[in-house]
Amino acid sequence: MSRLLHLDASARKESFSRTLSGIYATSWRAANPGGEYSYRDLAADPVPHIGQAWTELCDHVLANGITDVGRYREAVSTPEQAEAWAVVEPLLEELVAADVVLIGTPMYNYSVPSALKAWIDQVTFPRMRLTGRRFVVAGARGGAYGPGTPREPFDHEERYLRDFFLGHFAVEDVTFVHAELTNALVDPALAGLRTEHEESHAAARELAGKLAVR
């Protein structure tokens, strides 16, 4: 049975990244009527940032060479660690159970929102591997950061996520869908680029639907 974990990280209730991730999720659920679907709104219901107790859990896992996620609970030995584990456990269960992880996220200040980074930190442990899973990132950026654009070097969103999913989780199947130039709708200085934005948005919507049934 296929399982989709759907995360949204935009601070906007109605955003381009939420729209794109929603298109993917709707198409996926239609194509997988027997599949399981889990959803988290990381902006509306934020995951807390990691603290001292989480670092202790992480150190235990590393020091004892634990690579089986099912054994992470063995690291808990204090009330503070138990409290930290209570945050981590449901997040890890959702992630490990998923065949597809869908992340709707905007680019904020050249990178990912802190809400998404907090989730990544909570679910990441040493030498943790999620091979065989598929990650799909439905994104939105205020400017144009694609290959060959002047601002391509400033894209620390896609580069970070792609490098992290591959380098740490060993996930090779990572796909990005971006709606670009969204600020053209509100910034008078970018008003001349609205057509390019509309084309980018339309292409991203079409791609999001197609990827879900791949």
Residue 69 lies in a domain: no
* Residue 47 region by backbone torsions, left for phi larger than 0, else alpha for psi between -120 and 50, else beta: beta
Kindly state the tokens that stand for 204: 């991203």
Query: What range defines the domain where residue 167 resides?
Result: 3-47+98-211
- Indicate whether 12 belongs to any domain: yes
pTM of the model as a whole = 0.96
Tell me if 63 is assigned to some domain: no
Q: Is the pLDDT of residue 28 over 90?
A: yes
How much is the pLDDT for 214? 79
10 is in an annotated binding site: yes
Asked whether the beta carbons of 179 and 201 are under 8 A apart, the reply is: yes
Q: How far apart are CA 79 and CA 76, in angstroms?
A: 8
Q: Is 87 a member of any domain?
A: no
Write the CB contacts of 115 (distance below 8 Å, at least 6 apart in sequence). Answer: 9, 11, 42, 43, 46, 47
Residue 1 pLDDT > 80: no
**16 marked among binding-site residues:** yes
Q: How many domains does the chain have?
A: 1
User: pLDDT of 161-205, one tens digit each?
Assistant: 999 999 999 999 999 999 999 999 999 999 999 999 999 999 999
**Residue 86 belongs to a domain:** no
- Inside any domain, residue 161: yes
- Quick check: 21 and 8 in contact, CB under 8 A? yes
CATH of the domain at 196: 3.40.50.360
Q: Is 92 a member of any domain?
A: no
> Which pLDDT score is estimated for 133?
96
Residues 6+ apart with CB under 8 A from 69: 92, 96, 125, 128
Residue 160, in any domain of the structure? yes
2 assigned binding-site residue: no
3-state secondary structure of 180: coil
66-95 confidence digits (pLDDT tens): 999 999 999 999 999 999 999 999 999 999
